[in-house]
Amino acid sequence: MTDGTRELVIAMDGPAGAGKSTVARIVANRLGYLYIDTGAMYRALALKALRLGIPETDAAALADLADATEVELQRAPDGGNRVLLDGEDVTAEIRSPAVSAVVSQVSAVPRLRQRLIEVQRSMARAGGVVMDGRDIGSYVLPDADRKFYITASLQERARRRVAQLRAEGHEADLAAVEAEIARRDEQDMNKGVHSLVQLPESIVIDTTGKRVDEVVEEILRHCRRT
Ligand code: DC
């Protein structure tokens, strides 16, 4: 392919509950690209640690666990990701509140990250991907063609998460979810080179009060070539 038609590498970073994965998946579908949900990979490892009783504070055991684990993302029919943990489909289970409660700390282990980041980079090598995470534009794919920072107010993010949890059949209390998201923001913004940061070159999209289709169109406008 010539440079003019090469498919883009698109990085989407932002805090929990900003609507990032929803819009990233739709944008990927619209462009015919592969959507890669890196948070799901950290969730899969957190789930395995929970099952094995490895505490989220035991960095050495978590790093060893990552070395002995296969996490794979496949394209689901809706353009989302099917998540395989050592070959087992854990797509639904990784969204449980128990996993959400420990995943940020699990994902802070450097050797564990390094292993997943190798997989992420190899998936993006051929282009035509929308990769969603926290450190994608800054660390995983610093040469991405487009970098987006998707955000929303804490209150709106908590409201959306509660609606999503309830729709999935979990119990959810707004104040508790808001506190949990604030705690995760704090952790996700303090992971050294992997911290969630708003880069100078990032296009900032604030989704507060906007419909999904409006946000998608805004992003697609930025992805058009001039
Ligand atoms: O996007 P999410 O809520 O599914 O992400 C789960 C956790 O994984 C979140 O606390 C941050 C972490 N994460 C990360 O550290 N780096 C990424 N690239 C993606 C997610």
DSSP state of 96: S
The pTM of the full predicted model, rounded to 2 decimals, is 0.91
Residues at the binding site for ATP are 14-22
C-alpha of residue 172 to centroid of ligand 1, in Å: 20
Query: Would the CB of 113 count as within 6 Å of ligand 1?
Result: no
Domains and CATH numbers, the chain: 9-223 (3.40.50.300)
Taking the alpha carbons at both ends of the chain, their separation in whole angstroms is: 18
C-alpha of residue 4 to centroid of ligand 1, in Å: 33
Q: Are 7 and 128 in contact (CB under 8 A)?
A: yes
Instruction: Using the predicted structure, report yes or no on whether residue 58 has a pLDDT greater than 50.
Output: yes
> Closest by alpha carbon to 157, among 130, 127, 181, 187?
181
Residue 6 has what pLDDT?
75
Residue for token pair 């992003």 = 219
Residues 72-127 have pLDDT tens digits of 999 999 889 999 999 999 999 999 989 988 998 999 999 999 999 999 999 999 99
Query: Would the CB of 103 count as within 6 Å of ligand 1?
Result: yes
User: Out of 4-18, 24-38, 89-103, 145-159, which region has the weakest mean confidence (pLDDT)?
Assistant: 4-18
Q: For the chain, give the mean pLDDT.
A: 93
Residues 155-183 have pLDDT tens digits of 999 999 899 889 988 888 999 999 989 98
Per-residue tokens: 11: 């990085």
Integer Cα distance of 5 and 2 in angstroms: 6
Residue 5 has what pLDDT?
60
Residues at the binding site are 14-22
**Pairing status of strand 129-133 against strand 34-37:** parallel
Average pLDDT of the segment spanning 136-149 = 97
Instruction: Using the predicted structure, report yes or no on whether residue 1 has a pLDDT greater than 50.
Output: no
Query: Would the CB of 104 count as within 6 Å of ligand 1?
Result: yes
Residue 226 has what pLDDT?
54
